[in-house]
Structure 1
Amino acid sequence: MILKRKIYSKLLEWKNKCKGTKAILVEGARRIGKSTIAEEFAKREYESYLLIDFSKKDKLVEECFHTYLNKLDDFFMLLSTHYSVNLVPRKSVIIFDEVQMFPQARAAIKHLVADGRYDYIETGSLISIKENVQDILLPSEERSIKMYPLDFEEFAWALGEELLLNYIKTCFEKKEPLERGLHNKAMMLFKQYMLVGGMPKPVILYIQNAKNFAAADAEKRDILKLYRNDIMKIKTQYRTKVLSIFDQIPGLLSKHEKRVVFKDIQEGSYADQYRDTFFWLADSMISNECFMCNDPNVGLSVNEDRTYVKCYLGDTGLLLSHAFDENEILENEVYMQILNDKLSINEGMLYENVIAQMLVANGHRLYFYTHYSYEKHRNDIEVDFIISNNSKLKYKMYPIEVKSGKNYTTASLNKFIEKYKSRIGESYIIHPKNLIIKDGIVCIPAYMTFCL
């Protein structure tokens, strides 16, 4: 089963615009479908393609890069013969799959692109791609695009719900609620996305097993083990810290504030000791970082404070499997409880994580805001997310509060709006209920997040 992915159109844009003047590197976490989409694109858009999987450590192929890069006629002849593929100038593409396993191939891109005969697609898992480039010259003839797990729209496509998506978009644009039955259907679709997540193999298993969660859950646990094994291979100076944060993500997100309190991880710890840790997790795209913006008047990134961070897992389906062991999932029927709104514990964690995931998939960097009241000895304003229009001339920000329950207050968001009203475009509450506009705040159902 081949899933429809948005990145396909970005690859098509690269092919048509660059016309062989740049290679493209598809970056992303492990098991998100990079190799699958690259090969599917090659099959559809080229007369022929050659796929080199560097994880297989083919000595003959590696020798070609070492020996024949200065004799490209021989280089292409040997590859073409070895893979039994007829390469056609300007009508064929060569895929360097798992390019991080053989950095010399990435270094060769400059030379190969200059030759101009073929197009080149590279795929790489960021988990190790950055650590394997110390001794090579990174090619300027390389364009990179990031690939994420399936977003909500892609998940809905996989389940054949294109018409429902169109209806949701129309209602969002008109600021109108969905018809009640369709709202319930959309919320059920959203819950399925939250539980299964966007990793391609679990999604496919979920569909092929008549929407049974068991096979998808087993596959998600395999992916989590793979991530853990990858962490064990990184540099020793911060391996333990990365593993500690990775293991504690569900616990961190279960707290009210959800931000990382470093002294709670280990007595005497402070933020600077974990700088490389969060960089590695975010750069590998295992996690999505959310930094505090302490003065969101000019621009969010200008005023970010990296000593205050929230760490969301990159895929919420993985988070669910990470949070509960297999016996808990089975014995307590966790999936069914969440579908039926009967699991109060941890549901806020999942809601906030999936909203973070959906915002990142839409190209937003994540920021949050808190204001500490010395008079009250506590935070009196907390805003879960702030996104912006990134305009330098007409800057506007959009505060977002996430509510997993149907009963909530808006006091904190109201204070934030009053404090920064001249800079705010619209304010949003994301909740399980239908769309409603209340006191100038646009309250949207969780499934509408992809419209932001």
Structure 2
Amino acid sequence: MLRRKATDQLKYWVEHKDKKCLVVQGARQTGKTYIIERFAEDNYEEVVEINFKEMPSAKTIFEGDLTVDNMVMALRFRFPEIKIIPGKTLIFLDEIQECEEAITALKFWAVDNRYDVIVSGSLLGIDYKRASSYPVGYVDYQRMYGLDFEEFLWGIGITEEMIDSLKACFDKKQPVPTAINDQMFSYYRQYIATGGMPEVVQKYLDTKDYREVDTIQRSLLQGYLYDIAHYANAEEKVKAEKCYLTLGKQLLDKENHKFQYKEIEKGARAQKYYNSIDWLLRADMVHLSRIVTDIRYDLDDYARNDFFRAYTTDLSLLVAMKDFSLKQHIVENTLEGNTKGGIYECAVADALHKKGYTLYFYKNETTKKELDVIIQKDGQVIPIEVKGGKANANSIKSVLKKYDDITCAYKFIDGNVGVSDNGLVTLPLYMAAFV
């Protein structure tokens, strides 16, 4: 069983919830159902689980009066073998987007507060069905992603003590011993080639065979395309698929990683495709990094919605858009040119996104200054550059010189930890997981 940080977040919710249900959101196949099921087995005497895709007839439980007593009675008739005991029972409603009245009912479960209720779904942001009354104020939210690099290290058997020693190097800005740093880069390249989707990681752990890994990755990619075909409206189906499948080219084949509609088809414009990008965003199939016109807090005030980079929500899906040889080059560290810079930029963006950061970037066509990623942490703006090798970070140095209020900046490289006098911290690429 893969150890996931989401388990600790579920425990925190149980201990701190205040008359609220929990909605676990996230892209498909990130492990939501598995983690909730394992958590339920370990923490509750009784579990009632309904997957509305597997059991569509269970929607009748939520017809008529949505009082908790009525719903519990219906559940007891449906599942006579389960003792539904107040305070000791978890109600788990999976794929809840398939039952709009079950969404409405969350308010009443929360107010009653005799039973813990956790719900999950893969496309909860898609408004193809609207609950008659969405339970605003009666639910907490938890977002699940694929495995991050730290979770991958747990999976391959790296101890907590070893990871803590790496975090200490990050915190103290001290170099990592060379042999350890080299080994961590080897693990990191394995992680990038594998990605963070649990099924893919488990296949890698079981077989160490990248052909097997590739098969699972491509199957997941096809599943995502199926979701577009199944859930997008008729007008968006083809356009959303074209936008999604162009990400491999947008991010790995070009020096400029700004999303360009002309890469979808000749003469394409935002007017035709922007709604498709928005659909992919709401479906948790992409996340965006928006350009900012200035590098000041609050970055959102300077962000443009029409100029962005679009990333897949997991590296598994990105590498599946290219041929198998990409994995070999990643693992053997033989990448060159735009592909090398692109894959490491995507890996750093993936790490920061999974830690919950909103991503921005900066590009000035006049001065040719560019910052790959910018984040905000504790009210401070942190500029970031990503280098596949050990190149200079001229753009970030000029920013530190110009902006007195920016006191920290990161340059991620294929190298070790270092600190300059102007506040620029050089870090190994894999340490994006610790920011």
Query: TM-score category by the smaller chain?
Result: over 0.9
**How far apart, CA to CA, are the structure 2 residues paired with 1:68 and 1:85?**
22
Q: Counterpart of 2:398 in structure 1: which amino acid? A: K
1:30 maps to amino acid: R
CA distance in 2, matches of 1:353, 1:286: 15
Match of 1:401 in 2: 385
Distance 1:14 1:135 in 2: 24
TM-aligned CA deviation for residue 81 of structure 1: 4.3
Q: TM-score, normalised by structure 2?
A: 0.93
Deviations 1:272-292 (A, max 9, x none): 443322222222222120100
Shift of 1:434: 1.1
CA displacement 1:123-143 (0-9 Å, x = unmatched): 0112x5532442421112111
Residue in structure 1 matched with residue 205 of structure 2 by the alignment:
207
Indicate yes or no: 2:297 matched with 1:298: yes
Matched, 1:284 2:267: no
Query: How far off its partner does 1:170 sit?
Result: 0.8
2:99 counterpart residue number: 102
Residues 3-22 of structure 1 aligned to structure 2 (within 5 Å): 3-18=2-17, 21-22=19-20
Q: Deviations over 1:224-265 (max 9, x none)?
A: 001011111201233332111101001111211200123443
Contact 2:176/2:416 (8 A) holds in 1 = yes
Distance apart, 1:416 and its partner CA: 2.4
Instruction: State whether structure 2 residue 403 is matched by structure 1 residue 410.
Output: no
Residue 337, structure 1, aligned to residue 329, structure 2:
yes
| Cα drift, residue 360 of structure 1 | 0.8
Q: Give 2:25's aligned amino acid.
A: E
The one-letter code sitting in structure 1 at the alignment partner of 2:313 is G
| Counterpart among 358, 366, 377 of residue 389 in structure 1 | 377
Shift of 1:368: 0.2
**For 1:117-171, what per-residue CA distance to the aligned partner results, in whole angstroms no more than 9, with x for missing partners?**
2110000112x55324424211121111111111111111111113331111011
Greater CA deviation, 339-348 or 176-185? 339-348
Deviations 1:345-391 (A, max 9, x none): 52222111111010011111010001121xxxxx5101000111252
Indicate the SS of the match to 1:342: coil
For 1:51 and 1:129, the matched residues in 2 are separated by: 22
Moved more, 169-178 or 112-121: 112-121
Deviations 1:302-353, CA, capped at 9 Å, x for gaps: 11011211111111122112122xxxx2xx4x43332221232522221111
Q: 1:74–1:388: structure 2 CA closer, same or farther, 3 Å change rule?
A: closer
Distance 1:298 1:112 in 2: 40
Larger CA deviation: 130-139 vs 350-359: 130-139
Residue 178 of structure 1 and its aligned partner are, at CA, apart by 0.7
Q: State the alpha-carbon separation in 2 of the partners of residues 174 and 116 from structure 1.
A: 45
RMSD: 1.8
Matched residue, 1:33: 31
Amino acid at match of 2:50: I
Give the Cα–Cα distance (whole angstroms) in 1 for the partners of residues 187 and 145 of structure 2: 19
> Which residue of the other structure, out of 240, 252, 258, is the alignment partner of 2:250?
252
| Cross-structure match for 1:24 | 22
How high is the sequence identity, in percent, across the aligned residues? Answer: 29
Residue pair 1:103, 1:133 contacting (<8 A) in 2 also: yes
The residue aligned with 1:376 is none
Hey, what does 1:427 align to over in structure 2? 409
Q: 1:143 aligns with which of 117, 140, 143?
A: 140
Q: Deviations over 1:152-208 (max 9, x none)?
A: 111111111133311110111111111111001111111111111110001111111
Q: Is the 8 A contact 2:21 2:109 kept in 1?
A: no
The 4+ residue runs of structure 1 with deviation greater than 4 A are none
How far apart are the structure 2 equivalents of 1:388 and 1:241? 33
- Distance in 1 (CA, whole Å) between partners of 2:434 and 2:70 is 51
The letter for the 1-side match of 2:17 is: C
Greater mean deviation of Cα atoms: 182-191 or 271-280: 271-280
- Cα contact 1:54–1:98 (8 A) shared by 2: yes
Structure 2 unaligned residues grouped into runs of 5+: none
Q: Give SS of 1:428's match.
A: strand
Between stretches 297-306 and 338-347, larger displacement belongs to 338-347
Distance 1:36 1:257, change over 3 A: same
Corresponding residue for 2:175?
A: 177
CA distance in structure 2 between the aligned counterparts of 1:358 and 1:261, rounded to whole angstroms = 24
Q: Pick closer, same or farther for the CA change 1:405–1:85 going to 2, 3 Å.
A: same
1:75 maps to 2:67: no
Q: What TM-score does the superposition give when structure 1 sets the normalisation length?
A: 0.90
Q: d(CA) in 2 for partners of 1:412 and 1:298?
A: 19
Q: What letter is aligned with 1:418?
A: K
Relative to structure 1, is the Cα distance of residues 302 and 77 closer, same or farther in structure 2, using a 3 angstrom cutoff? same
Distance 1:17 1:135 in 2: 27
Contact 2:103/2:131, CA 8 A, preserved across alignment: no
* Mapped partners of 2:279, 2:175: distance in 1: 41
Aligned match of 1:236:
234
Aligned residues: 428
Q: Say which SS state the counterpart of residue 369 (structure 1) adopts.
A: strand
Q: What amino acid does structure 1 have at the position aligned with 2:280? A: L
Aligned partners of 2:216 and 2:328: how far apart in 1? 18
Q: Deviations over 1:27-53 (max 9, x none)?
A: 000000000111111111112111001
Which shows bigger deviation, 359-368 or 112-121?
112-121
Query: Using the alignment, how far apart are the partners of 1:85 and 1:129 within structure 2?
Result: 32
- C-alpha distance in 2 between matches for 1:267 and 1:219: 32
